[in-house]
Structure 1
């Protein structure tokens, strides 16, 4: 009887946190693959224990927080999972692109058009602190 009560609580917590999220298992698998390919990329670049990888791990946790938030919004507004479904699909695409980018850095052949677009994205040359500085800069250069 006590085991049943604990399972009921776990199921209630799972429903509250993630609802009936479609493709959540696929997203978690892609996150794991992205981490693995990212580790290989960092090993190849001799930068295995970088601060950037720690930020990457934190981002993965924050993605799950965003999905939980989307689920709560769905439940409050009675949208039957539409916001959560769209959020999970967005992050699935994002993880897939990240895996392909990591594979391209590792020398695995990727489609030519995709490789060109990834190189365009990668050639920004800004380090993370520079990107943050630019993002929060008070100067408005475009105005």
Structure 2
């Protein structure tokens, strides 16, 4: 690994530097690369993986659904970035809004992970499945659907 630049020469070094610069820029837009951000990225990746496995198991993989799922994940990251902007605009010095946004989406990703893994046959405690069923009956505004 230490010979990366020697093996690929100046072109490899330029590519590595470009990837590092892009990663640094993205991390700064998202308020840094801390544990909360890592947890959200891991949850999003696990949700995508489990969604693909569920689609493969039920033989219902759909590129349109996958496209909108990817757009949804990009929008989640955009909302985290917007939380960073709001935190800086308020000037509190701490990332309160960013943290709240990440916690909200971590919760949503967690519910999706539980739902998809249960569809794959992974057992979960009954109260979590019941809670998930109750949440499914409610809309985003918390109003009970009929």
Q: Same fold (TM over 0.5)?
A: yes
- Number of corresponding residues: 122
Give matches, 1:1-143, under 5 Å: 13-14=25-26, 16-20=28-32, 22=34, 23-79=36-92, 80-122=94-136
Instruction: Verify the 8 A CA contact 1:21 1:84 in the aligned structure 2.
Output: no
Name the structure 2 match of 1:141.
none
Would the alpha carbon gap of residues 78 and 117 (structure 1) be closer, same or farther in structure 2, given more than 3 Å must change?
same
Q: Which runs of 5+ in 2 are unaligned?
A: 1-13, 140-146
Pair 18,46 (structure 1): closer, same or farther in 2 beyond 3 Å:
same
Structure 2 SS opposite 1:19:
coil
The 1-side partners of 2:64 and 2:24 are apart by 36
- Structure 1 residue runs of 4 or more that deviate by more than 6 Å after TM superposition: 6-9
Aligned to 1:128: none
Q: CA 1:77/1:15 → structure 2, altered by over 3 Å: closer, same or farther?
A: farther
In the superposition, the TM-score normalised over structure 1's length comes to: 0.71
Q: List runs of 5+ in structure 1 lacking aligned partners.
A: 125-130, 132-143
Aligned Cα RMSD in Å?
2.8
Please report the TM-score for the alignment, with normalisation by the length of structure 2: 0.70
Higher normalized contact order (CA 8 Å, seq sep 6+, divided by chain length): 1
